[in-house]
Structure 1
Amino acid sequence: MKTTKVAPLIFLLIWTVTSITRWPSHTICKSGNLEMKYRSCDPRQDFALSFDSCSSVLPQSANIRIGTVLRYPIRELTVDVSLAINGKKVPVYSKKICERNHPQFSFCGKNKGEYVYYEAPVALGVHEIPQGDFNVTVEMFNEDHNTIICADITIRNL
């Protein structure tokens, strides 16, 4: 009798876990003709992101906030940024931001299971967002090429 009650529950749990293929889309900002959203492209983990500026005319730098729980340690951390053009990713930026002997940021050297929160101004290098739809992928991975954070960012400026 108990088996007939437990079996559907186990099936429901397995189906729920395996049927979730994408994280929800989160709105970064929406103002006038500008809308920015992000979604984690890491199938196992979502993260939090916020951005202070919500205008198509950007300041020299803007505050960003990122938070996540680490699934892997960070001894070295590389960030890759790519832009999707006609469905193909084109690399536009790549930089090692944590090195073993030169920790530049507070999250460098953090261990698996630790909560990482980063808040600081970031130089944008762009003064105005052109009109159109843009898809930007930001991937951060450690020295073993394990994904720390992966974000698909959609920018729509009409």
Structure 2
Amino acid sequence: MKEELDKAEFGMFPAQEHCARRLYKCFRKSGTSDLSDMLLSLILLCLLDLVFLENANMYKLCQSSTMEFYYTLCYERSKPIISIEPCASSRQQKMNISLTWIPTMDLHRLLLTVDVWYQSAKVSETRMDICTGVDDEFDFCGKLKGETVHVRLEKGLEKFPPVKGKFTANFNLYAGEEEELVFCATAIGILMI
């Protein structure tokens, strides 16, 4: 296994995808049909992508003889504390995943999107309303900006196919009625079983 993963293997970062969508919406709203303006903006966006890829920090979550987990964040200013224990790929054993985070916005309405890729093929696309303001399942819903959020999940690998290889998951968290991107991360899991 390579000591250092190639950052370009992540594909498109969620922040750039979000930025491209917002740029497209701006052009649509303004009624601009000038392709040269649009092309210039897209070129600038691509240049910013190159700068971002060079500066992205990759963090190791866990490493064992059967698996490795890494992640990178779109916004370093909102860096959460994440842990996975035990770092094992047994289908019978559950992993405890914990996250501690101080949000930079109120958590009244939250939408999470998760795209999962195996090697270079998209295998799952999920969109979940996490906080709606009515009978929310999670106790952090309703927390205010600056309050510490603790999340603890127990998950297993039973949903993953029993294959070796690299899984990549892009997590995007949107807040408010305008669905503003407030947190995003890309996680890589390498199964060696």
| TM superposition score normalised by structure 1 | 0.72
Matched residue, 2:7: none
Deviation larger for 51-60 or 122-131: 122-131
Matched residue, 1:121: 154
Matched residue, 1:151: 185
Matched residue, 1:78: 111
Matched residue, 1:63: 96
Superposed displacement of residue 138, structure 1: 1.5
Deviation larger for 28-37 or 113-122: 113-122
Matched residue, 1:12: none
Pick from 57, 79, 93 the counterpart of residue 24 of structure 1.
Answer: 57
Give the Cα separation in 1 of the matches to 2:179 and 2:157. Answer: 26
Question: CA 1:86 to 1:118, structure 2 compared with 1: closer, same or farther past 3 Å?
Answer: closer
Gaps of 5+ in 2: 1-50
Aligned length: 141
Gaps of 5+ in 1: 1-17
Residue pair 1:40, 1:151 contacting (<8 A) in 2 also: yes
Task: Please state which structure has a larger fraction of its residues in strand.
Answer: 1
Q: Does residue 135 of the first structure (1) align with residue 187 of the second (2)?
A: no
Question: CA 1:34 to 1:90, structure 2 compared with 1: closer, same or farther past 3 Å?
Answer: closer
Matched residue, 1:8: none
Superposed displacement of residue 25, structure 1: 1.7
Q: Root-mean-square deviation (CA), in Å? A: 2.9
1:42-66 CA-partner distances (Å, limit 9, x unpaired):
3542211112232222347432111
Task: Please state which structure has a larger fraction of its residues in helix.
Answer: 2
Residue pair 1:28, 1:51 contacting (<8 A) in 2 also: yes
Deviation larger for 24-33 or 85-94: 85-94
Matched residue, 2:68: 35
1:115-155 CA-partner distances (Å, limit 9, x unpaired):
11112324655266521122111222222323343221011
Q: Could you say what secondary structure the match of 1:70 adopts?
A: coil
Give the Cα separation in 2 of the matches to 1:128 and 1:45. Answer: 32
Query: Equivalent pairs: percent with the same residue?
Result: 23
Question: CA 1:146 to 1:59, structure 2 compared with 1: closer, same or farther past 3 Å?
Answer: farther
Matched residue, 1:95: 128
Deviation larger for 35-44 or 133-142: 35-44
Q: Does residue 53 of the first structure (1) align with residue 56 of the second (2)?
A: no
Give the Cα separation in 2 of the matches to 1:155 and 1:80. Answer: 18
Higher RCO (C-alpha 8 Å, min separation 6)? 1
